[in-house]
């Protein structure tokens, strides 16, 4: 793929080819954008890169791409124009964008590259003529290749990563290399060792689509519509998306007053979420979406974080996920107490378990009798006793 694209870019040195634009398509995170950026650097070309979602009207497309495609750079370098995230062009509001772009491609004097995830969307029908457009499909790499890539990164960063941990990250991301690297970076931050236990909580995240793309459109959206359309870009649970935005907003707004406005919008969205839970009135969901997307995006005015800031996984979700095993164990203990004492699980955990802990920590013989009566297993005994050492003493008292 890279070799063919490089050959196409190099062909512009001699003459304008018949295929004046390349259309790169494939699933998120497989290297479409970075390939163009790397080739432009290697070939000494000036890269003019824009997100199509920010230039979605005929006027904006012509003002940017029309001029850039006709005039050379001040440095004298050959130029390549990249329109990324073409999937962000929507509906009737953007109806003039694609016709304007096709006309510009006909007249261009430099290569134009378009990037999208779903090439077969009907709005891209105009770009399927392979006589006029150089179409390149990017496919997901095999899991083994992603695993090797993560291993190389970990080694370069001085991180001793268990193979099972890296394999789990690779499998969870299903060929999305960018997302896998983001996961590795976030999970290994501040560590020199990465174990399977450090990554297993990823199983409880919603990975139906690329959450990072959605977050970028919400936190850096330039219009209300662009921010709200992030909801349509991925099949994401709204409560999960709320947690992601809540976690990351403070890191991406560096003007205090703007951060305050963003958090105020999230607080208002949370009030509507609570009202929905209380009343079951799902018509209020439109307000939740408006405030958590457009409300946050429109809080930005002068905030421009310096450098690249990685997105962080929601700590509240992570804490719930990592404590899942403990909560499940407590629930099972509560059920066993319930069956023996004919009380509810809630009462068992609130009123009985604390006394059992005192006994299990101080009196092995009495604890052994209670453990047998409630039919607690070894893990449950260790949990109530507070340590494996005390749990072992209780188990020995059974004999």
Domain range list for the chain:
2-137, 143-204, 211-314, 324-396
313 burial level (CB within 10 Å; 0-12, 13-18, 19+): buried
Smallest CA-to-CA distance from 205 within 324, 293, 285 is with: 324
**What is the pLDDT averaged over residues 294-309?**
82
pLDDT at position 90: 57
Return the higher-pLDDT residue of 120 and 189. 120
- Least confident window among 15-19, 31-35, 59-63, 292-296: 59-63
Distance CA 359, CA 386 (A): 11
Distance CA 28, CA 138 (A): 9
Percent of the chain with pLDDT over 70: 85
* Shared fold status for 2-137 and 143-204: no
Judged by phi (left if over 0) then psi (alpha if -120 to 50, else beta), residue 51 lies in beta
* Superfamily (CATH) of domain 2-137: P-loop containing nucleotide triphosphate hydrolases (3.40.50.300)
* Architecture (CATH level 2) of domain 143-204: Orthogonal Bundle (1.10)
Distance CA 398, CA 364 (A): 9
């Amino acid at each position: 793929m890279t070799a063919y694209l490089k050959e196409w870019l190099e062909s512009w040195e001699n003459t304008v080819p018949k295929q004046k634009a390349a259309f790169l398509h494939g699933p998120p995170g497989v290297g479409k954008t970075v390939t163009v950026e790397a080739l432009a650097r290697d070939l000494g070309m000036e890269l003019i890169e824009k997100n199509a979602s920010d230039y979605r009207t005929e006027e904006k497309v012509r003002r940017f791409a029309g001029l850039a495609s006709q005039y050379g750079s001040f440095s004298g370098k050959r130029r390549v124009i990249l329109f990324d995230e073409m999937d962000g062009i929507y509906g009737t509001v953007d109806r003039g964008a694609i016709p304007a772009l096709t006309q510009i491609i006909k007249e261009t004097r430099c290569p134009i590259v378009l990037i999208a995830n779903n090439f077969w969307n009907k709005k891209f029908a105009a770009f399927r003529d392979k006589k006029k457009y150089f179409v390149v499909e990017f496919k997901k790499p095999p899991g083994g290749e992603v695993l090797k890539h993560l291993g190389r990164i970990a080694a370069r960063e001085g991180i001793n990563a268990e193979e099972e941990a890296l394999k789990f990250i690779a499998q969870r991301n299903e060929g999305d290399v960018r997302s896998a690297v983001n996961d590795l970076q976030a999970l290994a931050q501040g560590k020199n060792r990465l174990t399977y236990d450090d990554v297993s909580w990823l199983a409880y995240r919603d990975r139906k689509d690329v959450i990072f793309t959605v977050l970028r459109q919400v936190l850096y959206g330039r219009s209300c519509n662009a921010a709200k359309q992030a909801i349509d870009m991925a099949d994401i649970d709204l409560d999960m998306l709320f947690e992601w935005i809540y976690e990351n907003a403070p890191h991406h707004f560096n003007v205090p007053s703007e951060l305050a406005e963003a958090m105020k919008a999230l607080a208002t969205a949370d009030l509507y979420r609570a009202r929905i839970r209380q009343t079951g009135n799902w018509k209020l969901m439109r307000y939740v979406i408006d405030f958590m997307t457009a409300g946050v995006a429109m809080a930005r005015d002068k905030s421009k974080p310096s450098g690249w800031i990685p997105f962080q996984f929601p700590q509240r979700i992570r804490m719930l996920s990592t404590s899942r095993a403990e909560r499940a164990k407590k629930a099972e203990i509560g059920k066993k107490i319930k069956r023996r004492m004919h009380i509810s699980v809630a009462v068992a955990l609130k009123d009985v378990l604390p006394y059992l802990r005192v006994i299990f920590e101080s009196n092995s013989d009495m604890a052994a009798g209670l453990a047998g009566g409630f039919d607690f297993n070894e893990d449950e005994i260790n949990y109530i006793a507070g340590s494996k050492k005390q749990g072992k003493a209780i188990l020995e008292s059974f004999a």
